[in-house]
Each structure stands twice: as C-alpha cells, then as structure tokens.
Amino acid sequence: MAGHRVCPWWLGYFLASPLRRFTHDPAVILSPYVHTGMMVVEPGPGMGFFTLELARLVGPSGRVIALDVEPRMIAGLQRRVRKAGLLSRIDARVVPANSMALGDVKGAIDFIFAFAVVHEMPASGPFFAEASDALRPGASLLLVEPAGHVDEAEFDAELASADRAGLVVAAYPSIRSSRAALLRKSAAFVAAG
C-alpha cells in the first residue's frame, strides 16, 4: 500500500467527512456484499469512512481488518471507531509498504473492499496475489477506483492482474464517479493453487 501516489495522512480528515455520503453512501455501496458474521479486509481505510459501516454490517459476530501503511491514518481510524462503540469489531493494523501481512487469516476472508487504493500501489499484481491468498474459495473482492485518477486502460490492467491471481470479474457494479468490478476467487484457481 505504498507507491508514488499514496494519499497523505492529513487528507484522511476530509475523506471521512459526512458530506461524502452524497456521492458515496457506504451503506448503499456495501450492503449488497457484506453481511452479519463475515470477515472483511479493507486496505487503505483512511480514517474509516467505509470502515464504520463495514463494522455495522458484519455485526458483533463479524470482524473487519483495516490495513494502512500510515500510522496516523490508523490512529485517526481508531479514535473514530472507539467513539462509535465498534472497537470490538475492528482490527486496525499498520502494515509494511510491500504487504498486507495477512498470513494469520490466509484462506479465511469473506470479502475485501479495495476503494481507491490499488492505483496508489507501485504494482497491482502483488496486491491481487496476496488478496487471493487471503480469500476463502468463492469469496469476493470489490475493486473501486476513482474515474478521475484511473483511466479505462489502467483499470483494465488492474483487472488483468486480478485475473492472473485467480480473481475473475463477476459483475460491474455502478458506483458514482468510479470504475468498479466485483471479483470472485475462481474455483479453478483454488483447485490449481
């Protein structure tokens, strides 16, 4: 989660603004995919604009693992999570720039939510390989990139990287001002991997 265009930590305050719900309502975007009891990973959560809704959706029996390379983003996220009373549902981790460090949950993740984060990485291939490793068979990853930062060719290149990691496109959800794809871990890849 490092690269040449990593979001600065101080921008996290703006990205967590309630006004953002007018363009990207977390409940609308996430509720078709996230349900009670799920184990979810959110790389690059910022200060938790989507994380809080993820925690509400997974309920008390679920878990959200929020990962960021920036300690100040995680500190801001933890403050918001504590204030919302959702601390027991969220595992906020500072991770190295070259890995999501998900070895402890390999093959156990139900859903990964990658919102406006893959384009910040130096290469998408390692991210998708690690995501595929963490997902249980048949689990999903929702890839969302800002249309203003990621053109169609770049998004197609990300999808090609995902496909090489055994994540196949299941749908193209409509998310305002974004390019989005719902990816599913291929059963054939699970059998071969």
Decide: pTM greater than 0.85: yes
Residue 125 lies in a domain: yes
Residue 40 lies in a domain: no
| pLDDT band of 122, cuts 50, 70, 90 | confident
Residue 189 pLDDT: 59
| pLDDT band of 12, cuts 50, 70, 90 | very low
Q: What is the mean pLDDT of residues 124-151?
A: 96
Residue 7 pLDDT: 55
Locate all alpha helices (DSSP H) within 135-184, ordered by sequence.
152-164
* Spatial separation of the C-alpha atoms in residues 47 and 14, rounded to whole Å: 9
Distances (CA, A) of 37 to 53, 89, 92, 151, 187: 14, 10, 18, 35, 22
- Region of poorest pLDDT, from 60-74, 142-156, 176-190: 176-190
Answer yes or no: is pLDDT of 176 > 70: yes
- Read off the CATH number of the domain in which 188 is found: 3.40.50.150
Residue 15 lies in a domain: no
**Which is more confidently placed, 107 or 21?**
107
- Region of poorest pLDDT, from 7-11, 100-104, 168-172: 7-11
Answer yes or no: is pLDDT of 6 > 70: no
Cα 60-67-63 angle, rounded to 5 deg = 15
The neighbouring-strand residues paired with 184 are 140, 168
| pLDDT band of 139, cuts 50, 70, 90 | very high
Answer yes or no: is pLDDT of 162 > 50: yes
Residue 89 lies in a domain: yes
Residue 18 lies in a domain: no
* Spatial separation of the C-alpha atoms in residues 67 and 147, rounded to whole Å: 23
* Spatial separation of the C-alpha atoms in residues 16 and 14, rounded to whole Å: 5
Q: Which of 1, 95, 71, 81 is nearest to 49 (CA)?
A: 81
Q: What is the mean pLDDT of residues 28-48?
A: 95
**Secondary structure (3-state) at 105:** helix
Residue 21 lies in a domain: no
* Spatial separation of the C-alpha atoms in residues 64 and 67, rounded to whole Å: 10
Residue 140 lies in a domain: yes
Residue 36 lies in a domain: no
Total number of domains in the chain = 1
Segment holding 53, helix H or strand E: helix 51-58
Q: Which of 88, 128, 111 is nearest to 32 (CA)?
A: 111
The neighbouring-strand residues paired with 94 are 68
Of the ranges 39-48, 69-78, 151-160, which is most confident?
151-160
The neighbouring-strand residues paired with 93 are 67
Domain with 94, as residue range(s), is 45-192
